[in-house]
Amino acid sequence: MPIDNDYFKNRQNSGGGSDNKGNSNNNNGGGGNFQPPFEPPEFMKNLGKKAGFIYAIIAVIAVLFIFKPFLTIESGFVGIKKTLGKYDEQPLTPGFHFIIPGYQTVILVDTKVRLMNYKNIDSASSFNSGIRLNPAISILDARGLPVSIELTVQYRLTADGAPNTIANWGLSWEDKIINPVVRDIVRNVVGTYTAEDLPTKRNEIAVKIEEGVRTDIEKLKGSPVSLLSVQLRGIILPAKIKEQIERVQIANQEAERVKYEVARTKQEAEKLAALAIGTAQAKRIEAQGIADAVTIEAKAQAAANIAIARSLTPNLLRLEQIKVQGKFNDALKVNKDAKIFLTPGGSTPNIWVDTKSKSRDTAISR
């Protein structure tokens, strides 16, 4: 409130004043020059006129903080406004929004990708609010044997249809939409196989499960959920079935090993046979080559002999005999003890024997 200076002004005009005891008191020597102790700022002089407006602003701010008629929606969420118990069909997108306190409320719903795991509880790990954990799905196979299936389902709530989804299914919509559909499809698919066939037909089963779940989810009115994937994580078989499958696998592996050994032995035998055939063929070719060469040489020699025989005449033979006889005569001049045997007919040269060699002479005399 502004300070009232009328008192100080009156005292200034009267030139003095008295205290409570009636004693005169003149602070300025009894003159009219009295000054107030301080002069308030100009805005404080007008504060009284604006006090009501300021009080109103403070009251409004207090009401805003107490009743909070506003909220902020983060990314990955949508808001469902409920007015007097009725859901608005249009969801509130991420951002800043105003509501009427006491008249309207907002439910925040997560629209991010969520996971629902079906797995053995003993092997379950920690999970957050976006991951739900359910026990593995127990099923009877085609022969009535118990098996368990482990799955991971990825899905998300459709943002545009979130108000209708919550209105129709409630906040526990996952347990009413995803869980029943997955369990029903898995039982229908896996129940047609025997436990022994499940490991070998794993990919085929996984495709059928995902197609079945996707078809049933997409048939729901308003498309409340967007299914991203269904992944088959594991097939848990009874202990006896696992032992039987292991024995069959070992037998198959042994059969494959024997088949491989037989094929390898056969291949080695074929290799050796081919090598032997190749070696024999090479030898035959080589022998044929040699025979052909001998034949060609013999034919050539025969042809040469024929040509030589045709070229020989009696006069030529006599001439050759005279040449040889002349060589012997020249030799007798050097070795007078030598003996010459004359052959009849004159067609062959005489035989020269060196009589100085006793062993050769003895051999001839015999």
Contact 141, 196 (CB under 8 A): no
Specify whether 306 is located in the same domain as 349: no
Q: According to the model, what pLDDT value does residue 25 have? A: 44
**Looking at the domain assignment, is residue 250 inside a domain?**
no
**Looking at the domain assignment, is residue 202 inside a domain?**
yes
Alpha helix positions (H), 4-71: 6-14, 42-45, 47-67
**Looking at the domain assignment, is residue 341 inside a domain?**
yes
**Looking at the domain assignment, is residue 131 inside a domain?**
yes
The mean pLDDT values, 10 residues at a time, for the chain of 366 residues are 49 48 44 53 57 68 67 88 86 86 85 91 60 90 90 93 90 91 94 89 94 93 91 88 78 86 88 87 86 85 79 73 75 68 55 57 50
Specify whether 120 is located in the same domain as 225: yes
**Looking at the domain assignment, is residue 227 inside a domain?**
yes
Q: According to the model, what pLDDT value does residue 97 have? A: 83
Specify whether 149 is located in the same domain as 263: no
Count of domains forming the chain = 5
**Looking at the domain assignment, is residue 169 inside a domain?**
yes
Specify whether 130 is located in the same domain as 224: yes
Q: By C-alpha distance, which of 250, 262, 185, 264 is closest to 217?
A: 185
**Looking at the domain assignment, is residue 186 inside a domain?**
yes
Query: Would you state the torsion angle of the CA atoms of residues 168, 174, 176, 180, taken in this order, to the nearest 10 degrees?
Result: 150
3-class DSSP state of 105: strand
Q: According to the model, what pLDDT value does residue 27 have? A: 43
Can you read off the two tokens belonging to residue 124?
A: 């379950």
**Looking at the domain assignment, is residue 344 inside a domain?**
yes
Specify whether 142 is located in the same domain as 191: yes
Question: pTM of the prediction?
Answer: 0.54
Q: According to the model, what pLDDT value does residue 323 have? A: 78
Among 31, 46, 65, the domain-final residue is 65
Specify whether 133 is located in the same domain as 232: yes
Q: Which residue segment(s) compose the domain that 213 sits in?
A: 114-237
Specify whether 287 is located in the same domain as 191: no
Specify whether 142 is located in the same domain as 131: yes
Among 293, 311, 329, the domain-final residue is 311
Specify whether 89 is located in the same domain as 57: no
